[in-house]
Structure 1
Amino acid sequence: MPVLQSQTILVTGATGAIGRAICLALAQDGARVLIHFSRNRAAAEGLLADINGKGAILCADLSDPAAPEQLWADTMAHGPVTGLVNNAGIRSEVSIDAAMPDWQSVWEREFRVNVLAAADLTKCAIQTFRGQGGGRIVNMASRAGQRGYTSSSMAYGASKAALINLTKSVAQSHGAEGITAIALAPGWVRTEMADSYIAQHGEAAALAGIPIGRMASPQEIGELTAFLFRPTQVSMNGAVLDVNGGSYLR
């Protein structure tokens, strides 16, 4: 029997490279996957077809404060949910010399999507999981949340640090209820976000300091995420797993 056959898992930001890889890996291990998207319906429908229709697609704009609660309600319409992957995220740049309204706009949107939406979904998930005997949450953090980030992207680094703390708080506060939480902290992953950075700063800047000389692949992240949902991995509760090629060691 596939190891995740009894599980139904919501993946936010599922149409990006990492989200897609996570969905494919979960489905390969037997899970039913609920595919969240915000704009690219065609990509979501294509992904659903690629997992042989074993799941559903759900639309929500996570920059809208009302969206996470509605997304969870839509999720629950598809039956009992056993897992949540808070994968949706954005990375914006704003100069320290920018006008204050521009600075505040970037910080507010970054935290709305990367932290507050994840926190709202986490709240909904915990309330649901309590009535089911438990569940698991995997949060997509970042190396940037551990070591800090560039001046123009401080909002991104700070948001990912908050996501790491959310993970640990859930693990400590709700582990006794069978609700476990784990964070992944990737360095550079070969995604649209990485390609955008490379277009601005060059590939050498992105690869600098990575001992293995390459970025992680989305498939690596997908396979690791699926592994973390195995029922046998309950002792990973509270862990923050580095996936950075040795570029940050702690």
Structure 2
Amino acid sequence: MSPERAGISLEGKTVLVTGASGGIGGAIVRRIAALGGMPVIHYARNAAAAEALLSEIGGAGTPVQADLSVPEGATALWQEAVARCGRIHALVNNAGVRGLARVGDDLALWQSAWDSDLRVNLLAPADLCRLAIRHFRDAGGGRIVNIASRAGQRGYTEDHMPYGASKAGLINLTKSIARNFGKDGVTAVAIAPGFVRTEMAESFVAAHGRAAAVGDIPTGEMVTPEELADLVAFTLRDAQVSLNGATLDVNGGSYLR
């Protein structure tokens, strides 16, 4: 076994990663596979990206399609993952969207943005957590890692308030799971990154300028997907039981508490 795997081995672990065809999800999948784990590669529409990722990790994974923007999507994803893999050892709720919601918009547009962000960023993860808790209690334990955001702790821009609110809810959901189900062997952790160098962040930079994204980050840089993936892998270690309930900040010092 390589020294890397000896330090953080995920051998024999099946990990469901939502939004795995994107930049952050792809980095998480690569890291899990590099450490000997078996990622379930969730994607919504980009089957080509999921298959390319599967090929990149040598076929040691399982792509599963599901639309988390519809109420039944999360349940369908979980059921298909279990049908294919049997035992799931960990869930990483990474999929996310960020809609545009201006207070000056008409009511239909305003509500549509809130409905979309809450559905994908909070309600679908809640459905997956519910199913994961039931599965983990019966199977001898498991891990839940919820990818939240700095925005859920300090607030967000005026045009993207639903995103910040949904991520704040995800952090609170993590705490509730940790408090209530730790006794059942279910460990829940939230990770709250600042801007991560992805297409979503680049679209923000295009709209608001680089200074709006990194101007208040002491390190002067966005988080890389690889940094975030390393932290996810760390939280999945069997030894990290006492991280239960933690919110881990990864933001270059731009939000301190």
TM-score range, shorter chain: over 0.9
1:19-38 superposed matches below 5 A = 19-38=25-44
Take 2:186 and 2:102, find their aligned partners in 1: how far apart are those partners? 40
Alignment of 1:100-249 (within 5 A): 100-249=107-256
Q: Aligned to 1:145, what secondary structure does the other structure show?
A: helix
Structure 2 counterparts to residues 57-96 of structure 1, below 5 A = 57-77=63-83, 78-96=85-103
Structure-1 separation of matches of 2:194 and 2:148:
10
1:201-249 residue CA offsets vs partner (Å, 9 max, x unmatched): 1111111100001101000001110111010011100000000000000
1:40 corresponding residue in structure 2: 46
Aligned residues: 250
TM-score, length basis structure 1: 0.99
C-alpha deviations, 1:87-127, integer Å up to 9, x for none? Answer: 00001122111101110010011100000000000001011
Write the distance in 1 (CA, Å) between the matches of 2:70 and 2:223.
31
Instruction: Determine what percentage of the aligned residue pairs are the same residue.
Output: 56
Partner of 1:15: 21
- Over 3 Å off, 4+ runs: none
Q: Structure 1 CA distance, aligned partners of 2:76 and 2:66? A: 8
Q: Secondary structure at the match of 1:216?
A: coil
- 1:79: how far off? 2.0
**Amino acid corresponding to residue 161 of structure 1 in structure 2:** A
Whichever residue aligns with residue 167 of structure 2, its letter is K
User: Can you list the C-alpha shifts for 1:7-56, whole angstroms capped at 9, x where unaligned?
Assistant: 10000000111000000111111110000000110100011111111110
Q: Compute the RMSD of aligned alpha carbons.
A: 0.7
Q: Which amino acid aligns with 1:49?
A: S
* SS of 1:210 mapped into structure 2: coil
User: Match of 1:46, as an amino acid?
Assistant: A
1:50-61 to 2 correspondences below 5 Å: 50-61=56-67
Equivalent pair of 2:99/2:116 in contact (CA under 8 Å): no
Which residue of the partner structure matches residue 49 of structure 1? Answer: 55
For residues 53-107 of structure 1, give each alpha carbon's deviation from its aligned partner in whole angstroms, at most 9, with x where no partner exists. Answer: 1110000010010111111110001221000000000011221111011100100
Give structure 2 stretches of 5+ with no counterpart: none
| Distance in structure 1 (CA, Å) of the matches to 2:56 and 2:238 | 25
Mapped partners of 2:102, 2:116: distance in 1 = 15
Say if 2:16 and 2:40, in contact at 8 Å, map to a contact too: yes
Aligned partner of residue 26 in structure 2, secondary structure: helix
SS in 2 for 1:182: strand
3-state secondary structure, aligned to 2:139: coil
